């Protein structure tokens, strides 16, 4: 299976790194383009894949073609490659806001289109992605995409209307979590802990807490209650987080993210 990436920036590099590490595809079966020579050289050097200055060459090469440019470049890039794609190619979008119908229209012919939404923890093999195919895709096509995405994390099949929601809850949420880790570490630094150590403590606490949610199957509220002893230290912190509106801030932020996604 030949995998083509049109665009090879942050997201594509994270995906390709996992695909190669987990032997989903051989580096020689991956061809990527980038706009600048520097971008192509970085991909070639860091990932060991083949690169090209021609998006059309990537399109002609691919059995699975992943469009990894920013949303505002989608129209011009598809116009450039639409006559070069092979028959039966699976075209994968990783961008918000561009619908299955819109994407197929841009290709100007019946096409297998799969919309996905990955996130940057793909870089460490812990990505979370959603997958949704148009009616022309078969179960085998979806399985192929799932197999590729398993190279850099977990994925779930969703309906198309759910993709905007996925942007808010996992596509963009690593940024919110990084802010939380940074703030937690800042507080530790303010109390005298060296900065590097503070990041390790804060990040491991977040990692462990996330694993508890996933592995115990317990409600997050129950897990929170387990940490809060009566008259204890943790419930004092929880009281301040409630007073400062942590829940509401996260709720509103994720909703603003979804709203913005719908405007793209
Ligand atoms: N970053 C995230 O957290 C995230 C999460 C989910 C989805 N996404 C989606 O992933 C896509 C890529 O985002 P990103 O963060 O990886 O962006 P990025 O780091 O800016 O990478 C964009 C890539 O596209 C290339 N490019 C630009 N115009 C091109 C053209 N005309 N032909 C070929 N390549 C071109 C750039 O090349 P040069 O570097 O040479 O300019 C670069 O390699 C976006 O649609 C975004 O919505 C991103």
Q: Any idea what the CATH number is for the domain that residue 105 is in?
A: 3.40.50.720
Asked if residue 97 has its Cβ within 6 Å of ligand 1, the reply is no
- Joined tokens for residue 96: 């918000």
| Among protein residues, the one whose CA lies closest to atom 18 of ligand 1 | 9
Q: Which atom of ligand 1 is nearest to the CA of 11?
A: 16
Report how far ligand 1's centroid is from the alpha carbon of 95 (Å).
9
How many domains would you assign to the chain? 2
- Torsion angle in degrees (nearest 10) through CA of 92, 146, 157, 209: -120
226, 138: one domain: no
Residues 38 and 156 reside in one and the same domain? yes
pLDDT of residue 221: 98
- Tokens coding 219: 């409600």
Kindly report the protein residue whose alpha carbon is nearest to atom 42 of ligand 1.
Answer: 9
The model's pTM: 0.94
Ligand 1 contact via 153 beta carbon (within 6 Å): no
Indicate if 139 and 51 belong to the same structural domain. Answer: yes
**Is the CB of residue 6 below 6 angstroms from any atom belonging to ligand 1?**
yes
- Whether residue 121 sits in one domain with residue 56: yes
Looking at the fold, whether 196 and 252 belong to one and the same domain comes out as yes
CA 113 to chain centre: 18
**Shared domain check, 145 and 214:** no
> 53-75, pLDDT tens digit by residue?
999 999 999 999 999 999 999 99
Domain that holds residue 180: 171-263
Q: Is 68 in the pocket of ligand 1 (CB under 6 A)?
A: yes
Helical residues (DSSP H) of the chain, grouped into ranges: 10-21, 37-47, 55-61, 74-81, 100-107, 139-149, 163-166, 173-190, 195-216, 220-227, 233-243, 246-263
Structure-token pair, residue 79: 């116009």
Token readout for 187 is: 């507080």
Residues 140 and 17 in one domain: yes
| pLDDT value of residue 264 | 81
Neighbouring CB atoms inside 10 A of 202's CB total 20
The whole-chain average pLDDT of the chain stands at: 97
pLDDT of residue 155: 98
Task: State pLDDT tens for residues 101-142.
Answer: 999 999 999 999 999 999 999 999 999 999 999 999 999 999
Stretch 199-207: mean pLDDT, rounded?
98
146-172 pLDDT tens trace: 999 999 999 999 999 999 999 999 999
Strand partners of residue 135: none
State whether 177 and 153 are in the same domain.
Answer: no
Among 103, 128, 163, the domain boundary falls at 163
């Amino acid at each position: 299976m030949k995998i083509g990436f049109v665009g090879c920036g942050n997201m594509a590099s994270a995906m390709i790194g996992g695909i190669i590490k987990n032997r989903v595809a051989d580096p020689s079966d991956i061809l990527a383009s980038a706009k600048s020579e520097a971008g192509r050289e970085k991909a070639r050097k860091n990932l060991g894949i083949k690169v090209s200055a021609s998006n059309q060459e990537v399109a002609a090469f691919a059995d699975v073609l992943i469009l990894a440019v920013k949303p505002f470049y989608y129209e011009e890039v598809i116009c450039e490659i639409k006559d070069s794609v092979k028959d039966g190619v699976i075209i994968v979008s990783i961008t918000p806001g561009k619908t299955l119908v819109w994407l197929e229209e841009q290709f100007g012919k019946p096409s297998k289109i799969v919309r996905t939404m990955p996130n940057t923890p793909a870089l460490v093999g812990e990505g979370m992605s959603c997958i949704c195919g148009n009616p022309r895709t078969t179960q085998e096509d979806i399985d192929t995409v799932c197999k590729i995405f398993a190279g850099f994390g977990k994925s779930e099949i969703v309906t198309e209307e759910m993709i905007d929601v996925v942007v808010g809850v996992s596509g963009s949420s690593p940024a919110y979590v990084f802010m939380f880790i940074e703030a937690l570490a800042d507080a530790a630094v303010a109390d005298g802990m060296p900065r590097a150590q503070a990041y390790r403590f804060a990040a491991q606490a977040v990692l462990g807490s996330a694993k508890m949610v996933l592995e115990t199957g317990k409600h997050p509220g129950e897990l929170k209650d387990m940490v809060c002893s009566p008259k204890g230290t943790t419930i004092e912190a929880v009281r301040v987080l409630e007073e400062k509106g942590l829940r509401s801030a996260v709720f509103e932020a994720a909703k603003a993210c979804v709203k913005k996604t719908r405007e793209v």
